[in-house]
């Protein structure tokens, strides 16, 4: 019985797909991920990078801002029966390196750390990039023949690389460098809303070009990951852990513009 | 409350999609018309969870205020591209309330101005309606008042950020359009505070839901 069900599960879609209209297109998307990497929470920054920000009059500090990622994706999409779609792609996103200058505080109490009664300025930076393979499926809402909206859910497998550094900005006072470097792989979920507008060709053409705009909400994080390296140069008493642990968080919004070339139509 | 907000958000997005279909049903014999146009508009809206607070040591605001706002906007459409700009002033109602770490009361109230400029794709639905999706720069100016048992502090904040925008226009008359928009903003203030060490920041990330009316002078 199980074998029969398995055969049916494979044969039925192939059989039905022969009978339904299919369109296929290749899409190239370019855009950005806002708040890329979210908070960059770690043991040395338990409230994330924005939690490191502080200011003291006359200290010439600069706060961390949240990083933005530049994202590009190549996607192969099939539209079934003019109403459903499924897509697979490859995406690469590289974060614009974010940095800040702040005074070193105890990560737990928030109190200023001082050496010989002087505040310790720190240069911090974060960088993140990831490569992912997203798949998705959903419905196509056709407004007239020239315009379509895609609404779908999907998941992606992500290979990430993240580096958080904190180094002394006054090495005469105290010299140290602490970093957290992790490269976890994990699954993330996403919801897509994409508009598509026909710019070259007519809706009946086999070959045609469309303009796309994508809005995506992503949910997914690695969970807490151990940093592989243990810092050996941290002075005694410095309120930074020798082995930092942190997480990669890809949750957030993505906005992209793109072009789709439709190259196949059946029925 | 999160569930209610999530359902409201989904309903709002659904409304934007369906409004296009409604316009389609009313006007199915018109030819495609993707001309250019310039409009001035009025809008009003609501942002739940405005200015999530990164608290200073000693206080914990348990809730964040919801902001109601109204403003003016301009929009220029050129075929399938659009530019939209404007400004909106908002107040928090009710004020956020919470407790300090020592058990005292703390409240937070907000008066704010948000000025976004967006560019993006305009997806026309014949000549009756359009969907548009875009992104752009946001400037936030706010006066944040935080009152606890120890102090009554006012912090002026001015900072830049970004946003993404999804909206629809439904044509009522030849030049008058109803607008329905969702904007997700991203922004974070610089640290402010009363004492020597300033650690308080205002997180201006959030969703804005807007309805309005736009009048096209040139179409």
User: pLDDT over 90 for what percent of chain B?
Assistant: 37
B40 touches chain A (CB under 8 A): no
Contacts of A195 in chain B (CB under 8 A): 121, 123, 131, 133
Task: Return the minimum-mean-pLDDT range out of A19-23, A53-57, B125-129, B206-210.
Answer: B125-129
From residue A171, alpha-carbon distances to A122, A187, B214 in Å are: 10, 41, 58
Phi, psi angle pair for B126, to nearest 5°: 50, -140
User: Under an 8 A CB cutoff, do A146 and B193 touch?
Assistant: no
3-state secondary structure (DSSP) of residue A237: coil
Query: A127 to each of A165, A220, A228, A248, how far by Cα in Å?
Result: 9, 18, 17, 11
Q: What is the dihedral of CA B55, B56, B62, B66, to 10 degrees?
A: -50
**Residue A216 sits in which domain range?**
22-88+98-266
pLDDT tens across A73-121, in order?
999 999 998 899 999 999 999 999 889 999 999 888 888 899 998 999 9
The alpha helices in chain B, defined as continuous H runs, are: 2-26
Evaluate if residue A36 carries a pLDDT over 80.
Answer: yes
The whole-number average pLDDT for the span A211-224 is 94
pLDDT per position as a tens digit, A154-188: 999 999 999 999 999 999 999 999 888 999 999 99
Question: How many domains does chain A divide into?
Answer: 1
Nearest CA in chain B to A63: B190
pLDDT in tens, A123-153: 999 999 999 999 999 999 887 777 888 999 9
Distance from CA of B133 to the nearest CA of A (A): 7
Selection from A228, A249, A232 nearest residue A240 by Cα: A232
The pLDDT score that the predictor gives to residue A77 is 96
**Is A66 part of any domain?**
yes
Is A141 inside any structural domain? yes
Q: Beta partners for B46?
A: B68, B209
Residue A18, H or E segment: helix A2-19
Instruction: Note whether residue A238 is domain-resident.
Output: yes
**How near does any CA of chain B get to the CA of A19, in Å?**
28
Residues B65 and B45: their CA atoms lie apart, in Å, by 14
Confirm whether A15 is domain-assigned.
no
Q: What pLDDT was estimated at residue A84?
A: 94
Query: Looking at beta carbons, which residues of chain A come within 8 Å of B15?
Result: none
Instruction: Establish whether this prediction's ipTM goes over 0.85.
Output: no
B80 touches chain A (CB under 8 A): yes
What chain A residue is nearest to B205 in terms of C-alpha separation? A35
Best mutation target among B18, B188, B192, B207 (most A Cβ atoms within 10 Å) is B188
Q: Summarize the confidence of residues B142-158 as an average pLDDT.
A: 86
How close, in Å, is residue B23 to chain A by CA atoms? 10
Instruction: Name the closest residue on chain B to residue A56, using Cα atoms.
Output: B197
Q: Is residue A3 part of a domain?
A: no
Residue A219: CATH number of its domain = 2.40.160.20
∠A219-A221-A225 over CA atoms, to 5°? 180
**Domain B2-218 CATH assignment equals 2.40.160.20:** yes
């Amino acid at each position: 019985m199980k074998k029969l069900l398995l055969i049916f599960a494979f044969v039925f879609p192939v059989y039905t797909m022969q009978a339904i209209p299919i369109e296929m297109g290749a899409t190239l998307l370019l855009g950005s991920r806002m708040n890329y990497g979210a908070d960059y929470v770690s043991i040395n920054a338990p409230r994330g990078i924005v939690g490191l920000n502080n200011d003291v009059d006359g200290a010439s500090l600069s706060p961390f801002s949240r990083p933005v990622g530049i994202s590009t994706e190549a996607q192969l999409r099939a539209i079934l029966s003019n109403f459903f779609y499924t897509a697979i792609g490859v995406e690469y996103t590289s974060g614009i390196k974010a940095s800040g200058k702040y005074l070193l505080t105890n990560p737990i109490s928030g109190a200023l750390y001082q050496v010989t009664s002087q505040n310790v300025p720190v240069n911090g930076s974060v960088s993140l990039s990831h490569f992912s393979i997203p798949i998705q499926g959903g419905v196509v809402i056709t407004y007239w023949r020239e315009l379509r909206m895609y609404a779908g859910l999907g998941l992606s497998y992500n290979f990430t690389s993240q580096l958080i550094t904190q180094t002394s900005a006054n090495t005469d006072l105290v010299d140290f460098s602490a970093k957290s470097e992790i490269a976890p792989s994990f699954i993330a979920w996403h919801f897509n809303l994409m508009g598509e507008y026909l710019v070259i060709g007519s809706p009946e053409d086999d070959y045609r070009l469309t303009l796309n705009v994508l809005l995506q909400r992503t949910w997914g994080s690695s969970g807490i990951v151990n940093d592989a390296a243990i810092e050996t140069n941290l002075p005694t008493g410095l309120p930074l852990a020798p082995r930092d642990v942190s997480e990669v968080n890809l949750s957030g919004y993505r906005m992209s513009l793109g072009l789709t070339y439709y190259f196949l139509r059946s029925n | 409350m999160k569930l209610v907000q999530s359902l409201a958000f989904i309903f709002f997005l659904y409304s934007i999609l369906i409004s296009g279909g409604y316009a389609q049903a009313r006007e199915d014999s018109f030819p495609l018309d993707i001309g250019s146009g310039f409009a001035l508009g009025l809008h009003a809206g609501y942002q739940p969870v405005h200015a999530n607070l990164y608290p200073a040591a000693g206080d914990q605001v348990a809730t964040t205020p919801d902001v109601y706002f109204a403003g003016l906007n301009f929009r220029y459409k050129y075929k399938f591209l659009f530019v939209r700009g404007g400004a909106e002033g908002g107040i928090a109602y009710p004020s956020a309330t919470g407790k300090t770490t020592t058990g005292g009361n703390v409240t937070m109230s907000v008066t704010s101005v948000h000025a976004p400029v967006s560019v993006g794709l305009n997806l026309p639905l014949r000549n009756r309606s359009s969907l548009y999706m875009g992104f752009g720069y946001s400037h936030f100016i706010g006066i944040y008042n935080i009152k606890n048992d120890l102090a009554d502090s006012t912090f002026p904040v001015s900072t830049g950020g970004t946003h993404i925008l999804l909206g629809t226009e439904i044509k009522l008359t030849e030049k008058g359009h109803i607008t329905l928009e969702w904007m997700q903003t991203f922004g974070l203030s610089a640290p402010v505070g009363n004492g020597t060490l300033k650690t308080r920041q205002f997180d201006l990330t959030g969703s804005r839901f807007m309805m309005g009316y736009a009048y096209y002078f040139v179409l």
